[in-house]
Amino acid sequence: MENAGNKTSQLLRFPGMEVQDIVEDIADPDPSADQDPYVLCIMTIDHHFAEENVPFERHVFRQLRSTEG
C-alpha cells in the first residue's frame, strides 16, 4: 500500500495544482472501501477528462471551414 501512496503522490505532483484540485474536488474516498489509492486517482482523472464539453465542441464545430484539397 505504501508503493501505491508514493505513485499517487507522484501522479498528482507532476501535472500541477489543477489536477490536484480536480482529484480533491471529485474524489469521495470511502474509508470502508479497501481500494488502491492510485487506481482510485486514475479512475477519477479518467472520468473527469472523459466528459464532453458540449458548448466547447459546438464552438469548435461552428469554426470549421472547408478548405481546398
Average pLDDT for runs of 10 along the chain of length 69: 75 80 70 71 81 87 88
The CB density around residue 17, as the number of other CB atoms within 10 Å, is 10
The predicted structure's pLDDT at residue 50: 81
Say if residue 22 is exposed, middle or buried (CB neighbours under 10 Å; 0-12, 13-18, 19+).
Answer: middle
Q: What is the dihedral of CA 42, 43, 44, 45, to 10 degrees?
A: 50
The Cα–Cα gap between 15 and 2 comes to 21
The predicted structure's pLDDT at residue 58: 92
The predicted structure's pLDDT at residue 4: 73
Indicate the residue type of 10.
Q
The predicted structure's pLDDT at residue 27: 62
The pTM of this model reads 0.52
Asked if residues 8 and 37 have their Cβ atoms less than 8 Å apart, the reply is: yes
Locate 16 and state its grid cell.
500541477
